[in-house]
Amino acid sequence: MLVLFMLRQKSMDTHEMNSELERISEGVLSVAALYHTIYKPKAAESIVESSKVVSDDNRIRVYFSITEEGRKQLDIMTNEYRTPLYPI
């Protein structure tokens, strides 16, 4: 859910996603291997590789973007998250 939420804001590589995750969770959350975290939404076609960029230090940065299917899935997850388990 967090990966889709972040990618709805803008396309990011995994390093940027991890930095953003740490920022928005105020340091509580960090994923050591974010590539493993993106396999499931990538397989579900909720995210796609949008571009590859060679950085100044000659590393290839793979950027990911959310798809329309990913936006739909994020909306569903957000609604489920906000729905109380035990309505009053």
Question: pLDDT category, 29, cuts 50, 70, 90?
Answer: confident
Q: Model-level pTM?
A: 0.81
Question: Does CATH number 1.10.10.10 belong to domain 2-82?
Answer: yes
* CA atoms of 80 and 18, how far apart (whole Å): 24
pLDDT for residue 36: 78
Per the prediction, the chain carries an average pLDDT of 89
Contacts made by residues 45-48, CB under 8 angstroms, sequence distance 24+: 45/69, 45/70, 46/4, 46/70, 46/73, 46/74, 47/3, 47/4, 47/7
Domain boundaries, the chain: 2-82
Q: Are 40 and 33 in contact (CB under 8 A)?
A: no
